[in-house]
Structure 1
Amino acid sequence: MKFGNFEAKNHIFMAPIKTALATPKTGFITDEQIRYYEKRAKGGVGTIILEPIAVLSSGKEHPKQTMLNTDEHIEGLKKLVDTLHKYETKLIVHLNHAGRAANPKASGEVLAPSSIKCPSTGQIPEELTVQQIDEIINAFKENALRAQKAGADGIEIQFGHGYLVHQFYSERLNKRTDEYGKDKLKFVRDLLIEITKVIEIPIFIRISGSEFVEGGITNEDLSKILALAEEFGVSAVHVGWGNACDSAPWYYNHMSLPLDVMDEKLREIRKLTSLPIIAAGRMYKNERYKYLVEEKVVDGVVLGRQLIVDPEFPKKIISNSNDYIRCGSCLQGCLGNVKAGKPVGCIANPEVHVEFNGKATSKKKVAIIGGGPAGLFTGLYLKKKGYDVTIFERNNYLGGQWVLAYRAPGKLSMKDTLDDLIRKAEKELNIKLNTEVSVETFKKEKFDVIIVATGAKPFVPPIKGLENYITGFDFFEGKKVTGEKVLIIGGGLIGLEVAEALVIQGKKVTVVEALDSIGRGMEIVASKLFQKNYAPKIDVYTNTLVKEIKDKEVIVEKDGKEFSLGVFDEIIVTAGTRPESQIYEKLVSEFDNVYLVGDAMKVGQIIDAAQEALELSEKI
C-alpha cells in the first residue's frame, strides 16, 4: 500500500484511541503502553496511528494523555517506534489540541478561537489571543519535529471532530472579528506552512466526514480543507465522524447509529479529492472493510475498538479466517474506563494491556456450572492452560444475561461479540446444554475443580399487593406488554432499557426509583442518547418508594408523604438482581476446590465477569 511518500505492508490502520496508559500529568510513554501497541503490531496491523498527543497542556483531554512537549519525551516514542518496526508496522503520531473540548482537570485552562460552550463538558472557554495562537502553531511544529526525530513514519494532524483546528475553520464555532475570524482558513494555512517547512516525513490530516449537528461542516467546507491538503502535499485524509462537544455518539460511533449514512457520506467525500482516503467508523461491521475498499470508496480502513477486542483481527481477515471476536461497539470498557480515569479495557478482552499468566503444572478436569459470560470466559482461559473443561448449562442456549442485553433497543451489535464468543467456546470446550446439575452429578463424575457461574436472578421487593407483574428479564425474554399505561419499578440500566423499548412501542411509561438518580450502570453515551431521545417521553419519580398496589392503583411514598400515582395496566419490576448461588452452598460442603465467579459471586457487568474469569483462571 502506497500513499504518496507513505508506504505500509497493508491497508489496515489502527485508530488513535486514548488508552490512559501514559504517566499521569507528564504524559511519558510507559512500558505498559509499548506492550499494548506491540500486541496490535503482532496481530498484523499495517500502521498504528498513535493515541492523541496534546501539543500543549492547555489542549489535554485527560490526565494520562500522551505528550511530546519536551525533548525528554523523544526517547519513549523512539522505543515504541523501534518496537513496532520489528513487525514491519508503521507508526503515525497523531497531534491535537482539544480547544474548547479540553478537560480543565487535565489542561488547567480551556482555550478556543471563540468563547462558545462545549455541551459535553459544560466548559466555556476563554478566547485565544493572537500570541497564544502563535504559541499553539509553534507547539504543533515542535511536536512534529520531535516525532520525526524519534523515527516516526508520519504525523497526523487533527483537523476534525470539533477540536481546535476544526473550531477555527467552522462558521459555527469561530466568531472572531480579527484576521483569524475574517479568514476562517488562516489558522489551517498557517499551521500547514509551519509544519511543512520542517517536516520531511508524510503528513496525514484527520477530518470529520460530518458533525451531524445543525450548522455543522458541509461538503463545501471540506472541499476547501481538502484543496489545502493537496496544495501542501498531504499524503492521505483520515475520515472520522461527529464532534467531541456536540455529537459525542457519532464521535465515538455508538452501536445504535446507522452505517449507511457514513457510507453515503464517504462516497461524497471521494468525489471531493484525489488524495487517498482512509476511514474509521465500525469498519468491521458487515465487512465494510471489504466492500468500501473493493468499490474504491476508500483506500484504507481504520480499525479502533476492533483491535482492542481482538488484536489479531488483521491477520485473521487477511488469511480469510473467521476465528475472530467482533466488537459490539458498547463503549463500556474502552471509553468508560478512560473516562473514569482507568486504563483502556474491553468487555470481551480482559487482556487489553496485560497478559494472561496462567501456567499449568498439570492437567485438570474442570466443571463449570453456567454458560453465561463468566462461565464462557473462565472456560476459554482454562482451556488455554490445557485443562479439560466441561460447561453445564440448564438452558438450551449459551450466553446467560448477555442474550437479554442485546435485545434492548440499539444494542443488537452486542450479539456479534456473543456469537463469536460462543462459536469459539463450542469449538474448544465440552458443552452440555439443557442440563441441570446437583451434588449427585459430581459424585458420579469426578472433577478436580468445580466453578459455579450461575449468574443472578431478578430481585422483587416485598411490596404489599404486588402480584400481577413481570420482571425486566421476562420482558426481554419475550413476554408481551399489552396494556397502554405501564409502571416500571426500578430505574437502573435494565429499567431504562425496558422504558426505551416501551416508548418505541408507543406506551405511556412511568419509572419509579428509590434512589436520587436513574440510569445506574448505563454507559455514558447510551445515557446521553436516553436523556435526549427517551427521557422527555417518560414520567420519572426519584427518591420514591412503591408502598402498595391496590388492585391496579399504585401508592408511593416520597419525602415522607404517601400519594397515588394512579392506575396502571401493567407493572414491570426491574429493581436489580441478586446472586444465584444456591448450588454453590451445597457443593462447597461436599467437595474441595469449588469456586464462584461472575454475578453468582457479586453482581456486576460483563466487563467485570470477564476480568474475574481471567483472575480466577490464573489461580486455578
Structure 2
Amino acid sequence: MKFRDFEAKNHIFMSPVKTALATPKTGFITEELIKYYERKAKGGVGAIILEPISVLKSGKEHPKQVMLDTDEHIEGLKKLVDTLHKYDTKLIVHLNHAGRVANPKASEVVKSSSAVKCPSTGVTPEELTLDEIKELIQAFKENAERAQKAGADGIEIQFGHGYIVHQFYSERLNKRDDEYGKDKFKFAREVLSAVKEVTNIPLILRISGSEFVEGGITDEHLTKIFALAEEFGVSIIHVGWGNACDSAPWYYNHMSLPTDIMDNRLKEIRKLTKIPIIAVGRMQIDERYKKLVDDGTIDGVVFGRQLIIDPDFPNKILSNSDDFVRCGGCLQGCLANVKAGKPINCIANPEVHSEFVVEKIPEKKKVAIIGAGPAGLFAGTYLSKKGYEVTIYEKNDYAGGQWVLAYRAPGKIYMKDTLEDIIRKTEKSVEIKYNTEVTPEMLKKENYDIIIVATGAKPFVPPIPGLTDYITGFDFFDGKKVEGKNVLVIGGGLIGLEAAEALVNEGKNVTVVELMEEVGKGMEVVASKLFQKNYAPKINIYTKTMVKEIKGKEVIVEKIGEGITSLGEFDDIVVTAGTKPVNELYEKLKEEFNNVYVIGDANKVGQIVDAISSAKELAEQL
C-alpha cells in the first residue's frame, strides 16, 4: 500500500512504544530488542515505527533508551532492519529529543526552548542557548543520516506531544525573545531542512491531534505544520494525543478516556490536509480502525500496546479471524514496567520476551486445574498446546477470578474485552466445568496425572475490635450495595481507591484510612494521576493512620505520632486491607496426591502479570 512515496505491504503500523531493552546509558540495540521486534514482524505488521531515539543524551526519557548518536550504533540498527525485511516489514526510525520531558536521572542537563516547568517530572529546564540549538539541529541531521545508512525505510520526527519541536512552536512553552521566539516555527523548519539535506527516504511527522490542555495545539498550529510538511515532501502525518508533561493520561491513552472525542477530532484534522494520515490511540476498541479507514478519515492505522498483547493481531484481522486478544489499555505491564526501569511486559501476555516452546510430550496425561482465574486459564491454554488433556474446574458460574472484579471499577470496563478474549481462546482447547466444587474423591475417581491448584486469594480482614458489620472490597465489586451516606474505606491500596472512586460516583461521603505514608500502592502511575486529579479532592484521606476500634458507628483511629482520636460516625464500612492466598485445598491435596502444584495468588499474592507468568513457568516445566 502506498502513502505517497512510502510503501508497505499493508496499512498497519506499530507505534514507537518504549521498551527499555537497549543497553543502559549507551543505548545500543540488543539481541533481545531485535527478537522483540521480529516477533511483531512475524505477526504481519506492515511497518514498525521504532521506539523513540533520542538524538542527544540530554533528551533521554529513560536510561535504556535506544540511541543513534555515534557511528557505532549503525551496525545494530542495520541488523534490526535486515531482520524485519525478512518478513517484508518496513522499519521507520523515530527521532526525538524530550526537552523539558527528559528524565533528569537519564539525561545530562534538562534543556528546553524556555524555562517552563514540566508537571509530570517536576523539573524546570534550562533555556537552550543559540549554540545549543545549533548543536541540537545538527544532532537531528546526523541521526537521520545514520538511520539512512543503516537501511531504514523512513524517518519519523516527533513534532508533537510536548517534545522539543513542539516546545518551540507552542506559545505556552516558548517564551523566548530572540529569533526562535519571534518565529516559533523557525526551529521546526531548520530541523526538517537539516534532515532532508542528508536523506532521501520517506519522512513522517508525528503530531498531537489535541493536547487536551488550555492553550494547547490549535488548527492554526496544525495548518502551519501541514504547510511545512508539504514544502518538505512529507509522506505521512501520524496523529497521536496529549502532551507528555501536561496531559499524560491522553498521551498514554488510558483506558478510562473516551474514544469519540478522538474520532471527531480526526475528522476535523482530515479537512486540514491532503497528506495521508495514520492514527494511534486504542484503535482496536470497538474496531474503530475499520470505521475510520472505511470512511476515509485515516489512511492507515497505528497499534502500540495491541501488538504487545497480541503480536499476531495484524494477520488475524487481515484474514478476518476473531481469534485475537484485545488490549484493555491498563498500562500496568507496559508503561509501569518501563517507568520502573524494567523491560516492557504485559499483564495478559507472558510471552513478550520469551515465547512458549511447545515440546512433544512422550505420553498424553490428564491434567486437572482448580480455578478459572488468570493463572488457571493460562495454565490450561499452555498445557493443551503441549498435548495434555486438560480440564479446568471453577466453583462459580463464570471464569476470570478477581479479573471480573477489576473491570467493574470506574474507567476499567475495557479490561472486560481482554478477559472475554482470553476465556474464548481457552475454551477452544480446554474444557471448563463451571459450578463445580472439587473434592479429593472426585480427583481420585477421574485418575488425574497432574493437579494444579489456582484457587486465587481472598480478602484479609484485620482483627479490629468491634468490626462486625462490614463488606469487603470483593463484596462491593461483586454487587453488594452500600446504602448509607457516610462510608469508611479501611485500606488505601489499589482496591481501596477504586472502591472509593465508585462510592464517590454514587454520591457518598467517603473517608479512606491507610496505614502507609501514602495511598495508591500498586496503582499504575497514570491511573494514580487521574485519581489525584478527579477523586482525591472529594475524599477524606488519612495516611499513617490505623483503625483501633469500632464503637457502634463511631470509628476510633490512631494517627501515627499524633495519638488516638475519633473520626466520627459512619453508616457503612468497606474493608480493603489486602488479600491472602486461598490454599487450604492445596495443603489437603498434596498429602494425598504426588503431582500437585500451586500457582498464582494461591501460591503468592501478586498482580495479574505475576499470576500468568507463574502459569507459563509451570507449563514449561511439566
Pick the TM interval, shorter chain. over 0.9
Answer yes or no: is the 8 Å Cα contact 2:361–2:386 preserved in 1: no
**What corresponds to 1:170 in structure 2?**
170
**What corresponds to 1:611 in structure 2?**
613
| AA partner of residue 494 (structure 2) | L
Deviation of residue 493 (structure 1)? 0.4
CA distance in 1, matches of 2:560, 2:103: 37
**What corresponds to 2:450 in structure 1?**
449
1:268 aligns with 2:258: no
Deviation of residue 559 (structure 1)? 2.7
Answer yes or no: is the 8 Å Cα contact 2:361–2:387 preserved in 1: no
Question: What's the TM-score once normalised by structure 1's chain length?
Answer: 0.99
Aligned ranges 1:472-511 → 2 under 5 Å: 472-511=473-512
**What corresponds to 1:569 in structure 2?**
571
Residue deviations 1:314-333 (CA, integer Å, cap 9, x gap):
00000000000000100000
Answer yes or no: is the 8 Å Cα contact 1:158–1:206 preserved in 2: yes
**What corresponds to 1:157 in structure 2?**
157
Deviation of residue 360 (structure 1)? 4.1
Answer yes or no: is the 8 Å Cα contact 1:24–1:64 preserved in 2: yes
CA distance in 2, matches of 1:140, 1:587: 63
| AA partner of residue 340 (structure 1) | A
Deviation of residue 364 (structure 1)? 2.1
Answer yes or no: is the 8 Å Cα contact 1:358–1:619 preserved in 2: no
CA distance in 2, matches of 1:450, 1:71: 55
Any idea what SS the aligned residue of 2:306 has? helix
Answer yes or no: is the 8 Å Cα contact 1:16–1:304 preserved in 2: yes
CA distance in 1, matches of 2:534, 2:9: 44
| AA partner of residue 605 (structure 2) | V
Q: Which runs of 5+ in 1 are unaligned?
A: none
Answer yes or no: is the 8 Å Cα contact 1:510–1:539 preserved in 2: yes
**What corresponds to 2:209 in structure 1?**
209
**What corresponds to 1:357 in structure 2?**
357
Aligned alpha-carbon RMSD (Å): 0.8
Answer yes or no: is the 8 Å Cα contact 2:487–2:509 preserved in 1: yes
1:522 aligns with 2:523: yes
Residue deviations 1:369-422 (CA, integer Å, cap 9, x gap):
000001001111111211111100000000000000000000001000000000
Any idea what SS the aligned residue of 2:105 has? helix
CA distance in 1, matches of 2:80, 2:560: 58
Task: Pick which of 378-387 and 598-607 moved more.
Answer: 378-387
Residue deviations 1:496-535 (CA, integer Å, cap 9, x gap):
0000001111100001111111111111100000000000
**What corresponds to 1:244 in structure 2?**
244
CA distance in 2, matches of 1:470, 1:453: 24
Question: What's the TM-score once normalised by structure 2's chain length?
Answer: 0.99
Q: Which runs of 5+ in 2 are unaligned?
A: none
| AA partner of residue 438 (structure 2) | V
1:386 aligns with 2:387: yes
**What corresponds to 1:90 in structure 2?**
90
Any idea what SS the aligned residue of 1:382 has? helix
Task: Pick which of 452-461 and 360-369 moved more.
Answer: 360-369
Deviation of residue 557 (structure 1)? 1.0
Deviation of residue 361 (structure 1)? 3.0
CA distance in 2, matches of 1:434, 1:404: 18
Any idea what SS the aligned residue of 2:106 has? helix
Any idea what SS the aligned residue of 1:106 has? coil
Aligned ranges 1:318-337 → 2 under 5 Å: 318-337=318-337
| AA partner of residue 569 (structure 2) | V
Any idea what SS the aligned residue of 1:389 has? strand
| AA partner of residue 410 (structure 1) | G
Deviation of residue 32 (structure 1)? 0.8
**What corresponds to 1:579 in structure 2?**
581
1:601 aligns with 2:603: yes
**What corresponds to 2:77 in structure 1?**
77
Give the length in aligned residue pairs.
620
1:396 aligns with 2:405: no
Residue deviations 1:537-586 (CA, integer Å, cap 9, x gap):
10011111111111111111113621111110101100100000000000
| AA partner of residue 580 (structure 1) | V
**What corresponds to 1:539 in structure 2?**
540
Task: Pick which of 348-357 and 291-300 moved more.
Answer: 348-357
| AA partner of residue 61 (structure 2) | E
**What corresponds to 2:555 in structure 1?**
554
1:307 aligns with 2:301: no
CA distance in 1, matches of 2:107, 2:513: 39
